[in-house]
Structure 1
Amino acid sequence: MNDKNKFQSKTYLSCDTICKADSNNGILGDVHTTEFINGIRASGVPNHVLILKVGSPIMLLRNIDHTMGLCNGTRLVVSRLAEHVVEAKIMTGTHVGKKVLIARMSMTPSDPRFPFKFQRKQFPIMLSYAMTINKIQGQTLTHVGLLLKKPVFVHGQLYVAASRVTNPKGLKIVICDENGQDSNSTINVVYKKIFNNL
């Protein structure tokens, strides 16, 4: 998708370090090289290499300023790329159209699967041509496209996705059956156990 954007791209690299509490252990310093830490991809933390273009849609990964509408999940469009900041225009919400500056910030992943803690200093954004149903909750959009290759897996999930669009004409749904063929119906998953104690 980003290839169709004709603007010149700019690459931003993060600065990754092992947290000081863990760096005292000599073994960690030998095993966890800079290249190893740069290659880690963790949920809620931007990648080491961030390639952006003017006009690319992005999503915030951190709460920055609620009063300006800069919250985790806010969607923006890149309007200018500088060395130390990214200028972007807010796409949704009460601050739609407002231009903001986003600076790099230090983030530590909270994933318990990592046996050590590291810090990544990078812009708290990621490219966002599509969003998960969890991230779209609370947003209102003029156009929503749903790709349902499998039946929805949680009761109410289809409702959340379909209810984000402001006008039914802006909703498009592609449904596939178990053979990958187009279909016009899907299974709405309901866990009958939730009705047991009613």
Structure 2
Amino acid sequence: MVSLNHDLEKTYLSSDTVCMSVHSFMVLEHVHTSEFLNSTNCSGIPNHSITLKVGVPIILLRNIDQSLGYCNGMRLIITRLRDLIIEAKVLSGKMVGENVFIPRISLTPSNARIPFKFQQRQFLIVVSFTMTINKSQGQSLSHVGLFLKKSVFTHGQLYVALSRVTSRKVLEILAFDDEGKITNEVKNVVYKEVFHNLV
């Protein structure tokens, strides 16, 4: 999708290093090279290489400043790309239209599958032309296109997706049935056993 935007692109590379440890650092620095660390992907951290353009929508992956409302899941659109900072404008919530300056931040991923600790310094963002239903929670959007390849799988999830807009006119839904055919019906998952103990 970024390639459809014909503005000049800028690529940002992360700085990845093995965390210092008295016993293991000398061994790990020879085993875990920069190339290996750069190729390591963990949930919740950005890629080693991020290619961006002005006008591209992004989402914050971590809380940057909760007191100002710069939190995980905030949607923004890039307005300017600098070497050490990214300028963006807020797209939703109470701060719509506000300018935000996003710095590079150091992060140490915690993943049980990785038997060592490393630190990544990168912009904690991801390009976001789409988002999950969970990420959309709490946001008001002017237009929503809902793509449901499978039925929603938890109680209340369909409500969250449909209630992002205030009018049915700005909501489009593409849903598929269990056989993969387009349908005009969507299952709303309700756990009836929850209601058995209600008075």
DSSP-derived class of the 2:21 partner: helix
1:46 alignment counterpart: 46
- SS, match of residue 86 in structure 2: strand
Q: Note the alpha carbon deviations across 1:144-188, whole angstroms, 9 max, x for none.
A: 111111111111111111111132222111011223221000222
- Name 1:141's counterpart in structure 2: 141
What per-residue deviation string (whole Å, max 9, x for no partner) do you get for residues 64-105 of structure 1?
123432111100000011111111011111111111211101
Distance in 1 separating the partners of 2:125 and 2:22: 27
**1:8 paired residue number:** 8
Please name the residue that 1:181 is paired with: 181
How far apart in 2 are the matches of 1:22 and 1:162?
A: 53
Change (3 A) 1:58 1:7: same
- The answer to whether the aligner puts 1:24 opposite 2:24 as a matched pair is yes
| Correspondence list, 1:108-119, <5 A | 108-119=108-119
* Deviations, residues 121-143 of structure 1 (Å, cap 9, x unaligned): 00111101111111111111111
Paired-residue identity, %? 55
Contact 2:174 2:182 in 1 (8 A): yes
Distance change (3 Å), C-alpha of 1:117 and 1:2: same
Alpha-carbon separation, structure 1, partners of 2:117 and 2:101: 28
User: Contact between 1:90 and 1:96, CA under 8 Å: does it hold in 2?
Assistant: yes
**Structure 1 stretches of 4+ moved >4 Å:** 195-198
1:20–1:196: structure 2 CA closer, same or farther, 3 Å change rule? farther
Provide the TM-score with structure 1 as the length reference. 0.92
Range with bigger deviation, 161-170 or 4-13: 161-170
What residue is the counterpart of 2:70 in the other structure? Answer: 70
- Offset of residue 24 of structure 1: 2.3
Give, as a single letter, the amino acid of the residue that structure 2 aligns with 1:117: K
What is the alpha-carbon distance in structure 1 between the residues aligned to residue 22 and residue 140 of structure 2? 43
Larger displacement relative to structure 2 (18-27 or 108-117) = 18-27
Distance 1:19 1:91 in 2: 36
Name the Cα RMSD after superposition: 1.8
Matched-pair contact (CA < 8 Å) for 2:19–2:25: no
- Of residues 20-29 and 59-68 in structure 1, the stretch that sits farther from structure 2 once superposed is 20-29
Q: What secondary structure sits across from 1:21 in the alignment?
A: coil
Contact 1:69-1:93 at 8 Å conserved across structures = no
Structure 2: which 5+ residue stretches go unaligned? Answer: none
Deviation readout 1:43-72 (Å, 9 max, x if unpaired): 211110000000000011111123432111
Q: How many residues align?
A: 198
> CA separation of 1:96/1:135 partners in 2, compared to 1, >3 Å: closer, same or farther?
same
- 1:105-134 CA-to-partner distances (Å, cap 9, x unmatched) read 101112222211111100111101111111
| Residue identity matched to 1:130 | T
State TM-score, norm by structure 2: 0.92
Q: Is 1:102 aligned to residue 102 of structure 2?
A: yes
